[in-house]
Chains A and B, each alone.
Chain A
Amino acid sequence: MDKKKPKKVFVQGAIPPEKIANSVANHQSKTNIGAHSIFLGQIRADEVEGKTVTAIDYTAYEEMAEKVFHEIREAAFAKFDITCAHIYHSLGKVNVGELCLFVFTSSAHRKIAIEATNFFVEEIKAKVPVFGKEIFEDETHQWKVNK
């Protein structure tokens, strides 16, 4: 049932660690699942020319991003035998050490779940129009680019 319906991916601010535990708890009734795979993106305190990143302020072309997230979901369900998949991405300011991306896939067996999570993360980084302003401690900034 959660296969086709477009889902809300964006959350305002950091993703609370409790959300991960709650998501796991919500799947304990699905007993055909044998493996969960989770990816968590955390804001890193990068150093650039002597200045340290303190936060990333995320913005997005939201309508297109939601469409692309949905297309990635469709592609993942076509490619991998996963039971379910959930994606959450932050918008707005996320401080270093906090979580900005949560990908959660479940399958009967581990290899499929792990591969599917990897697929989601790589596709999200490459295709979703999300932009990140890296803010330094002195309030200056630079724009993040995915490698």
Chain B
Amino acid sequence: MKVTVKYFGLVAEATEKSEEVLDLNGTLTALELKVQCLNGLAIADKESVQIAVNQNLDDTITLKDGDEVALLPPFAGG
């Protein structure tokens, strides 16, 4: 299955890209994908990164083909 992964803020800085399409095998939850994506990146506090699946902040969702996933560092609006 293919999912689009978007990166923002310090995550985009660490990956040096704003998005990519990943071809994934088997069943994966959002949390599992987050751990996989952040593994090896120079990010001090990985726990603070949230994952949104189709704009919903729920890392228990099982991913399906065509999902849009976003890795979101701590919010800083206002």
Q: Which residues of A are at the interface with B, using a C-beta cutoff of 8 A? A: 41, 56, 58-61, 63-64, 67, 89, 100-101, 121, 124-133, 143-146
A61-B6, A64-B55, A67-B55 known; A143 and B77 CB under 8 Å? Answer: no
Among the listed B8, B10, B52, B77, which residue makes an inter-chain contact with A125, where contact means beta carbons less than 8 Å apart? Answer: B77
Interface size class of B (residues with CB under 8 A): 10 to 19
Q: Which residues of B are at the interface with A, using a C-beta cutoff of 8 A? A: 6, 8-10, 48, 52, 55, 70, 72-78
Among the listed A56, A101, A125, A133, which residue makes an inter-chain contact with B75, where contact means beta carbons less than 8 Å apart? Answer: A125
Q: What is the minimal beta-carbon distance from B60 to any residue of chain A, in angstroms? A: 18
CA distance A32 to B48 in the complex (A): 45
- CB-CB under 8 A from B75, the residues of chain A are 125-131, 146
- CB-CB under 8 A from B70, the residues of chain A are 61, 64, 129
B78 x A131 contact (CB < 8 A): no
Q: What is the minimal beta-carbon distance from A64 to any residue of chain B, in angstroms? A: 4
- CB-CB under 8 A from A130, the residues of chain B are 75-78
- Report the nearest A residue to B45, measured CB to CB: A145
Interface CB pairs A-B, < 8 A, 5: A126-B75, A129-B70, A143-B74, A146-B76, A146-B77
- CB-CB under 8 A from B77, the residues of chain A are 58, 60, 89, 101, 124-125, 128, 130, 132, 146
Among the listed A41, A100, A131, which residue makes an inter-chain contact with B9, where contact means beta carbons less than 8 Å apart? Answer: A131
Among the listed B55, B73, B76, which residue makes an inter-chain contact with A63, where contact means beta carbons less than 8 Å apart? Answer: B55
A143 x B10 contact (CB < 8 A): yes
- Listed residue (B55, B72, B77, B78) with the most chain A CB atoms within 10 angstroms of its CB: B77
Among the listed A100, A121, A124, A129, which residue makes an inter-chain contact with B72, where contact means beta carbons less than 8 Å apart? Answer: A129
